[in-house]
Structure 1
Amino acid sequence: MSKLKYTNAVVGAVLMALVLLLAIAGMIHTPYDPIDGDLLARFAPPTAQHWFGTDDFGRDVLSRVMAGAAVSVTVSLCSVLFALAAGTVIGVLCGYLGGWWDRGIMIFIESLMAFPGLLLALGIMTIVGPSKWGVVLALGLAYTPSVTRIVRGAVLSLRQRDFVVASQAMGNSDTWTVMRHILPNCVAPLVVFSTSLFGSALLAESALSFLGLGVPPPAPTWGGMLAESRSAMDQAIWLAAFPGGMISLALLGINLFGDAVRDMLDPRMKGASA
């Protein structure tokens, strides 16, 4: 790995660590109640008492950013785990069994991939309604087809390898062969893909909250805070600057770290990064 890529990896890891620490802190303790406000302190600019200022209800913006980080990171992480679990199971079954099972499911998967992930999530959210776990379900289902295709492609290339054929010839069950020889070799491409998927889920969760289809108020979210700041942009720019800056920093860290992980785990990138 070149010096520049190593620096990018370190910067990305530091930014991701800061976002995760902010989310953990938001789950444990915030300087002020992120929901209750003080009307006498409406639109207070950043000061030593309120580092990020206050909003139109006198709520501490730093506390809401911390609580919003907890919500955004939790929803994004659960969505990615849901998509990885469901997509891995479906992809392994399609790639390993093949035949009509593979063809039928992949036709359905390809039809779902014809819709952008966010558009598909929007459609699901209109059915299940705004809620924390509704967002997880919507984003998880929206990203499952992409995971399925990656796992299926990896399994198709692996099932004809000598060590898989040898395992079958020895009389090992399909379950043993998959768990012992197939799945471990799918970990690397899934790890590479999951980093970019986490960034996409974070951005999609913020977009859904901005549109009013994410986690409903009064729970703070970064996207919801951006939506609320539109009416006061001219007199309280910090209401948009801080949640918007956190989204940008989080995505920057994820992208930098994801590129480094891809360089380390993707054999095709080793020559380019040498």
Structure 2
Amino acid sequence: MNPLPTGWQVIYQQAHALLAAQLAWAWPAFLPADRWVGLLAAIMQHDDEQAAWHGRGGHHGLTPAGAPANFTQVAFSLEQATGVLHAARFQGRWRSLLTSLHLSTLYEPLRGSNPATTAFLDELRASQSRWLKELHLTKTQARQAYDLLHWCDRLSLILCRQELPEMGRELEIYRAPLAAGRAAHYVCQPDGPGTAVVVRPWPFACKQLAVSVEAQQLHQLQFNDDAELAAALRQAPTKTLSWILQAG
């Protein structure tokens, strides 16, 4: 969710995940084909199973001020977290393990907040141990793959949320997976908005990378309820946001 002079730019979480998958696709593969494809699937689908929302009254999708709420302003949903893990299980233990590690990373700070959440986090840990044993993997091997998911998720969010610093300053993305040397990576836009985005050290197999995501353009600042927001989103024009990534 980004402000516009006359409204809001809305990027759905699933669209952000698709951008993250574009970034992962460009990395040199460091896993066997079946595991690599499973990792790409986990990245592409890590924000699926969002709560069904049809704008039928209420204010679930709005802030108290009537603006569209972004994902950081929406309370943790145990139903969504359980749903995304359940969906992953239909694609096997490897995909499930990666998705489970992501859920643990996101929600472990909520441990102790209520019994249901703590029980869910305990179940994640137990499942991870079982899947590691069944897949004959070490924690380090699983973490190496998960780190790429986290890295791509982070860079995608930086781009989608317009977090590139002004005046060409650098922002740390996340430390690269162990297979890539665990080095810190940085991103900047030295020539200002609308120009090439520099990533260093350069992690991708290609010399230059073009990525994109679709956004809805809302030309309204406030909404009375979810129904009004839903109607506006259905009618909103769509804009493709694009970036060229290159080495520093």
Q: Given the two structures, how large is their TM-score scaled by the length of structure 2?
A: 0.26
Tell me which structure has the larger Cα radius of gyration.
1
More helix by share: 1
Task: Identify the structure with the greater strand proportion.
Answer: 2
